[in-house]
Amino acid sequence: MSAEQANHKRIGMEVSFAVAEAVKMLEVEAIAAYPITPQTHIVEELSQMVADGDLDAEYIPVESEHSAMSACLGTSLAGARTYTATSSQGLALMNEVLFVASGLRLPIVMTIVNRSLSAPLSIWGDHSDIMSIRDVGWLQFFAENGQEAFDLTICAFKVAEDKRVLLPTGVNLDGFSVSHVVEPMLIPDPKLVRDFVPSYEPQLRADPADPVMIGPIGIPEIYTEAHMARDVALIQSRKLIDEVFADFEKVFGRRYHALESYRADDAEVIVMAMGGMAETAMGAVDTLRNEGIKAGLVHIRVWRPFPFDDLRAMLKNAELVLVIDRALCAGGPGGPVASEVRSALYPLEKRPQVACQIAGLSGRDVRALHIVQMLKRSMAQAEAGELPEYELHNVREVAQ
Amino acid sequence: MAKLPGWKDLSLGIAITDAGNAKEYRTGDWRSMRPVTDESKCISCGWCWLLCPDHSRQPFPRKSPKADCPFDDFYDVDEYYCKGCGICAAECPTGAIKMVPEVGQ
Ligand code: SF4
Ligand code: SF4
């Protein structure tokens, strides 16, 4: 079957429902979740599918996200293909269990519908939630639109469950601006999806017939080695991710990369963004090019494992890189993405300057025009040799 | 202690796949005080056996029979596990157990 045939159905669908559809096609066997805005539509839809008998899974309604992830540990250890989704405070509440999932090497897949963290209480989208858990040892993907959210959910299971990886995987999509949008989407034949992702063969399993002890204490003599093993698995998953993305293209015709670019080959100034803002940035790049500024865009699809080598190769000829972050490392280097980009570029003999603007916090609108403004501002600052560590874009000083 | 595994030797998710291997963990290494038992004072009541948090008090054959005690065994320390907490010495009803520093003995 050709990729065109595979994608014969282009239909309008809310992105949350499309993610639920992908989970259903993958015949997930266990879901434990607590509804939280803006993730709610995904798990509501899945619980409906289970209640209607359209999805033969165990749906565990829990009283908190801490329990949701704990239940996911249990079902994954029982050998079930396991899924959950969360946002913001829910992700924060899961924090300690997330480390257990990666330490135990359980291929749980979770959609993270990105949202800001309280206080002040905010339900709107930014990346504060995911950045607060970036070091938990999970693979982390970023989708920019509904099609990618659907596609990456499928890829996430295939990578996570591969015997050479066996790590939990998060798929990030922006709250509301992606999750609640109705998009025209290519929804493939479920059989193709099932053929693409083979059924899950658990490697570590709580089996009464073959007792093992799971989750023992890690004394000082073993803890470091355990972390080494997990870290190596995470770093080496890079190869598998590339393989899966290549296979995905063969079947479905769409190609993803750990790091992607737009008009960046000859660019002197490069904008970097993640999630939905990367799409907006394409418009900004076009505007800047029309003005004669050699601008380009580089966006990160795979945030963990961080694509250090690709990043160095892609940015090495640029003069200035502006990273637009949607989270703030308070009292630290500014934006988490900018911080990692700086760290990645440091070994280069000749490296671009890195500017960081923090924008789009709590769903505040960032349009192509704003990105153009931010880049021009950074270019002027760099020119004057006055590039600050970071700035919060468009902060009101006084009432207007 | 058995040879420590390298990171490549660890099982997936550091699961412990062989049962009962805690036996190999010599907790007695942690000790700074050691219980010394006066066999002639021990009445084999088993109180120390019951209260020892490490299950380190065990019956051992008496070197000489005790006239007022019908049991052939008295209770002494299994040094492989004893952490030296002193609970046995504090609780022994006859004062048969004395804690002595490990160093220099
Ligand atoms: S508590 Fe004292 S008397 Fe009783 S068995 Fe132990 S050492 Fe002997
Ligand atoms: S000192 Fe503590 S650990 Fe050692 S035998 Fe006595 S009660 Fe047990």
Report whether pLDDT(B82) > 90. yes
For A45-76, write each residue's pLDDT tens digit: 999 999 999 999 999 999 999 999 999 999 99
Query: Which residues, including other chains, have CB under 8 Å from residue A160's CB and lie 6 or more apart?
Result: A107, A108, A109, A139, A166, A167, A168, A169
Please report the atom of ligand 1 found closest to the CA of residue B88: 1
Q: Say how far apart CA B27 and CA A153 lie, in whole Å.
A: 47
Q: Is the dihedral of CA A225, A307, A281, A386 positive or negative?
A: positive
Option in A104, A106, A229 nearest B10 (CB)? A229
Using CB atoms and an 8 Å cut-off, which of residues 8-47 of chain B contact chain A? 8, 10-17, 19
Of the two residues A282 and B4, the one the predictor is more confident about is A282
pLDDT class of A257 with cuts at 50, 70, 90: very high
Answer whether A10's CB lies under 8 Å from A177's CB: no
Closest CA to A171 of A193, A187, A186, A156: A156
Length reported for chain A: 400
**In whole angstroms, how far apart are CA A36 and each of A140, A150, A372, B54?**
20, 20, 34, 46
Cα A55 to ligand 2 centre (Å):
57
Residue B43 Cβ inside 6 Å of ligand 1? The answer reads yes
CA distance A124 to A122: 6
The torsion defined by the Cα of A229, A231, A236 and A240, in degrees rounded to 10, comes to: 100
Contact A275, A325 (CB under 8 A): no
For residue A103, the chain B residues in CB contact (below 8 A) are 13-14
Q: How far apart are the first and last CA of chain A?
A: 59
Using a CB-CB cut-off of 8 Å, the residues of chain A touching B13 are 103-106, 166, 204, 214
At A88-118, the pLDDT tens digits run 999 999 999 999 999 999 999 999 999 999 9
Task: Answer yes or no: is the C-beta of B43 below 6 A from any ligand 2 atom.
Answer: no
Q: Whose CA is nearest to atom 6 of ligand 1?
A: B48
Q: How far is the CA of B52 from the centre of ligand 2 (A)?
A: 5
Looking at residues A286-308, what average pLDDT do you find?
Answer: 98
B14 to A166: CB separation less than 8 angstroms, yes or no = no
B96 lines ligand 2 (CB under 6 A): no
Residue A9 has pLDDT above 80, yes or no: no
Helix axes A15-25, A40-51, angle to 10 degrees: 40
Average pLDDT (A316-332) is 96
How many other CB atoms are found less than 10 A from the CB of residue B99?
Answer: 16
* Averaged pLDDT for residues A349-377: 97
| Cut 0.80: pTM above it | yes
DSSP conformational letter for B11: P
Nearest CA to ligand 2 atom 4: B82
Shortest Cα distance, chain B CAs vs residue A81, angstroms: 17
Q: Are A234 and A137 in contact (CB under 8 A)?
A: yes
State yes or no: pLDDT of A5 exceeds 70: no
Q: Measure A29 CA to nearest chain B CA, in Å.
A: 21
Chain A hits for B11, CB-CB cut-off 8 Å, are 204
What pLDDT is attached to residue A76? 97
Mean pLDDT score of chain A: 96
Residue B77's contacts (CB-CB under 8 Å, 6 or more residues apart) are: B34, B35, B37, B56, B57, B58, B88
- First CA to last CA distance, chain B: 23
When mean pLDDT is compared over A121-130, A197-206, B21-30, the highest value belongs to A121-130
Do A77 and A103 contact (CB within 8 A), yes or no? no
Ligand 2 mean position, distance from CA A213 (Å):
27
What per-residue confidence (pLDDT) applies to A1? 62
Q: Is A193 left (phi over 0), alpha (psi -120 to 50) or beta?
A: alpha
d(CA A360, CA A125): 8
DSSP secondary structure string for all residues of A271-336:
EEE-TTHHHHHHHHHHHHHHTT--EEEEEESEEES--HHHHHHHHTT-SEEEEEESS-BTTTTB-H
Which ligand sits nearest to residue B35's alpha carbon?
2
- pLDDT beyond 50 at A391: yes
The reported pLDDT for the residue numbered B105 is 47
User: Which 8-state DSSP code applies to residue A198?
Assistant: P
**Cα distances (Å, whole numbers) of residue A131 to A59, A88, A311, A322, A330:** 28, 10, 19, 19, 12
In this predicted structure, the answer to whether residue A4 has a pLDDT above a threshold of 80 is no
Q: Which pairs count as long-range contacts for A376-380, CB under 8 Å and 24+ apart, including other chains? A: A378/A320, A378/A322, A379/A269, A379/A293, A379/A320
Sign, Cα dihedral of A351, A353, A358, A364? negative
For A184-220, what is each residue's pLDDT tens digit? 999 999 999 999 999 999 998 999 898 899 998 998 9
Predicted confidence at residue A383, as pLDDT, reads 97
State the ipTM, two decimals. Answer: 0.85
- Element housing A49 (H / E): helix A40-51
Nearest to A211 among B4, B14, B19 (CB): B19
Stretch B7-13: mean pLDDT, rounded? 94
Q: CB of A303 within 8 A of CB of A274? A: yes
Pairing of strands A269-273, A182-186: unpaired
Residue B22 pLDDT level (bands cut at 50, 70, 90)? confident
pLDDT for residue A151 is more than 70: yes
* Residue B57 CA, ligand 2 centroid: distance in Å: 7
Q: Does any ligand 1 atom lie closer than 6 A to the CB of residue B38? A: no
> Are the beta carbons of A216 and B13 separated by less than 8 Å?
no
| Parallel/antiparallel/unpaired status of strands A320-325 and A353-358 | parallel
**A105 closest CB neighbour out of B4, B13, B16:** B13
For the record, the structure tokens of A308 come out as: 């250090």
| Contact of A353 with A387, CB cutoff 8 Å | yes
Of A106, A203, A216, the CB nearest to B14: A216
